[in-house]
Amino acid sequence: MPKHATLEQRISWHLAHQENCGCRPMPQKLQMELNKRNAKAEAHE
Ligand SMILES: [Zn+2]
């Protein structure tokens, strides 16, 4: 992961990582950010 990763990069990094490995869960803060995005995406439908 880049040192100064954007939130976007961090989220996608953790998503990819979770699929390949369960060594560390996504931090709650990132998880919340992801949930917010999912909620927004649903609202657009
Ligand atoms: Zn891992």
pLDDT over 80 at 2, yes or no: no
- Ligand 1 centroid to Cα of residue 4, in Å, is 19
Give the residue from 29, 31, 2, 7 showing the smallest Cα distance to 18.
Answer: 31
CA 5, CA 41: separation in Å to the nearest integer?
23
Read off the DSSP letter of residue 22: -
- Ligand 1 centroid to Cα of residue 1, in Å, is 12
Question: pLDDT: is 3 or 19 the higher one?
Answer: 19
Question: pLDDT: is 2 or 32 the higher one?
Answer: 32
Backbone angles phi, psi at 13, to 5 degrees: -65, -45
- Confidence category of residue 45, pLDDT binned at 50, 70, 90: low
Question: pLDDT: is 14 or 43 the higher one?
Answer: 14
Q: In the predicted model, what is the mean pLDDT of residues 5-14?
A: 90
Q: In the predicted model, what is the mean pLDDT of residues 30-44?
A: 88
- Ligand 1 centroid to Cα of residue 40, in Å, is 29
CA 26, CA 24: separation in Å to the nearest integer?
7
